[in-house]
Chain A
Amino acid sequence: MIEKKPIIFLLLATATILVGTIITMVLPFRWINDPKLAIASVKPYTPLQLEGRDIYIREGCNNCHTQTVRPLLSDTERYGEYSKSGEFVYDQPFLWGSRRNGPDLARIGGKYPDAWHVKHMKDPRSMVPRSNMPAYDFLNRPLDTSLSERKMKALKFPYTQADLDALKGKSEMDAIIAYMQKVGNDIPWRKTGTAAVLGELKNPFQDNMSVLPEGQKLYAEHCAQCHGIELAGEVGPDLRDLDQPDAKVFATVFSGIAAGGMPAFGDTLGKERTWKVVTYLKSVHKH
């Protein structure tokens, strides 16, 4: 019957397609981004952060990096607190991505100091030896700010003349790093989420020279990019002649220093390997 009436057929096919569309795509607008679920500490982007976000989009960073931490152990232990929908209300477009050729970036904000990002963008393999990320040295060119104000207006984000003036003299690198430092950092998860180490902190490898080679290897993989292979400091401070008790050094490596840009390594190293790194660190002197 219907195979003889193309116009009726078209209308019926459209109606069929619209059922699932309305229920799973249109209806959720009623609940997603409901103001009642807003997170007060999540703020819109500043003009500099927004320009950085646009560079992230222009370079197609989302083709290799996701921005959503799933509530799964392998995600939360590796990247941090799981993502909440209220964190993305100013994201037009969303940048959750679909493939992790590189690590997830949803909690990158505040993880490393700016200097780390500059070095890593210019030459990723100087920081992460076998990384396959392209080098983005060319971002050192001046930022084009001709559309900045219109962009803020289009998205209805608040801004001041001072915000716009602050764009003067900035490079594209400054912008993308300003964006990186904001991503996922609007909720105070680093303070509340840091794992406390329970019990007495006693180095099981104290004076055990046999763990030094492994400690040195772990240092080269995880620490040298910021503190230098000779421990002389670069992005992070000089670590030679470390005048701190083992327990204090352990706590710093394991939990990080949120204010100082030192990431927490407890999740990736675990306790035993962290102690080995501590033992190695304490063994190095300026001579």
Chain B
Amino acid sequence: MNQQEGYADDIVKGFVIWSMVWGLVAVLVGVFISFQIAFPQLNFPPYLTYGRLRPIHTNAGIFGWGIGSFMAFFIYITQRLTRTSLWSPGLAKAQLWLFNIVIALAAVTLAMGMNRSKEYAELEWPVASLVVVLWVIFAVNIVMTIVKRREEQMYISLWYILATLVGVAVLYLVNNAAIPVSLTKSYSAYAGANDANVQWWYGHNAVAMVLTTPPLAIFYYFLPKATGVPIYSHRMSVVAFWSLIFMYLWTGAHHLLWAPVPDWVQTLAMGFSVMLIAPSWAAVFNGYFSMNGQWHQMRENYLVKFLIFGITFYGMQTLQGPSQSIRTFSAFIHFTDWVPGHVHMGTLGWVSLVLFAAIYYTIPRLYHTEIYSIPLANVHFWLVLTGQLIFSITMWIAGVQQAAMLNATNPDGSLHYSFIETMVELYPYWHMRALGGVIYLAGLLVFLYNIYQTINGGKTQAAAQRA
């Protein structure tokens, strides 16, 4: 089925390749800013300071690597699940160009300090407007392909794809509402606590609609493809789908616990965050139970390792997240390094591992060849896993230590440590994190080399056949 004629697969190749380019940028900048935190002399103002580079790291990661590869796999998966070629390959080609222009513009404008300051919505209004155009082009193409489909039933991946298309649109439009002053400067349309509440409704649901539903769509498609066994329970995935997209939208204010937004909004966010464990773990169980009788594939099939470790990190992420959204625990670890540790388990552990599997699966098929080296894929796996675990575990320990120091009091009730006394104790942890980042980067380079050689091999074979 994968070799079928008529699918717009060149565009999938384009998105996969460019998402890998931006993924490399995200990790390179990430490693660099982790060194900047440990060694402040590495800040080179005005353009290369931590304050300006961190948004480039997050935007390249979420939008360049994340959205870029989701666009690739949404196009790939939708065509196959509908047994229909893409509605408009020409539009998709324009979309790829626009995507790269937007991400490049984002990097340049952020380095120049054009920044709205709202996390993951930093882009100034002209660039943000291009993002909206990009998303509309993409959504129309996917929806129209589904509408004219030849397979009547929509598989669960298509559900997650459709929810992503509408969810991202609503979130992005509302949170980017701005009062423009010039082409390079605007102010948020909302003020103070309202702006905060809108921002974290957006911020947390970017996690839902960018870092959860698209990887789930990809996971539900590629796990059966990679293992050759069907998903354990369609019904469970359907129940989980509706409860997930219902409950996620209530939880944004768990980023604002103890902040001056209404108490009842915080309490609702806390309650729904805990309830989200159920649909999240439904997906985890669906992954695990599908593997019943197939666990030997963890040893024999390198793709399964990526997918099952990915869904496992998703499971851990969706237990840790709800625990952090409880007021008492949040009071302790919020604002410390614990939180970056949590975030990177999700982005490096869950999202990226699933994407690696999807790329390993599709690239050889798109180029009609075999993967260049399975041993290298295994090296890649263990390097990124080690790097990510060093990163996350180090940051959890650092966060708990700093929180404990910040809360320590003297017998007379005064605080035992000044802020800087708690901060200087973090340097050893920051060195460890930078090391974790370097190991992860090494793993990523092995991956890119493997994919590069695979594509090259495919092209050589094709040339040989023609000759």
Contact = CB atoms under 8 A, between A and B. Distances in A.
A205 to B, nearest CB: 15
A266 interface: yes
Contact of A16 (B37, B38, B246, B252): B246
A131 B40 contact: yes
B192 interface: yes
Interface of A is mostly: helix
Contact of B260 (A17, A68, A90, A101): A68
A32 B194 contact: yes
Contacts of A91: 191-192, 195
B412 A92 contact: no
Nearest to B266: A24
Q: Looking at A74, A155, A271, which has the most chain B CB atoms within 10 Å of its CB?
A: A74
A9 B43 contact: no
Interface in B108-163: 113-119, 143, 146-147, 149, 152-154, 158-159, 162-163
Contacts of B189: 92
Interface stretch (B46-54, B221-229, B288-296, B298-306): B46-54
B162 A98 contact: no
A160 interface: no
B143 A99 contact: no
Contacts of B180: 154
Contacts, number: 263
B322 to A, nearest CB: 16
Interface stretch (A52-60, A173-181, A184-192): A52-60
B49 A134 contact: yes
A98 B119 contact: yes
Interface residues of B, number: 95
Given A84-B260, A103-B419, A147-B185, A94 B196 contact: yes
Contacts of B407: 73-74
A125 B40 CA distance: 10
Contacts of B242: 16
Interface of A: 3-4, 6-7, 9-10, 13-14, 16-21, 23-25, 28-29, 31-33, 54, 57-64, 66, 68, 70-74, 77-78, 83-85, 87-96, 98-104, 124-125, 128, 130-138, 147, 150-151, 154-155, 221-222, 266-272
13 contacts: A25-B197, A25-B198, A25-B249, A59-B52, A63-B54, A68-B260, A78-B415, A88-B193, A88-B260, A130-B423, A136-B45, A150-B181, A267-B415
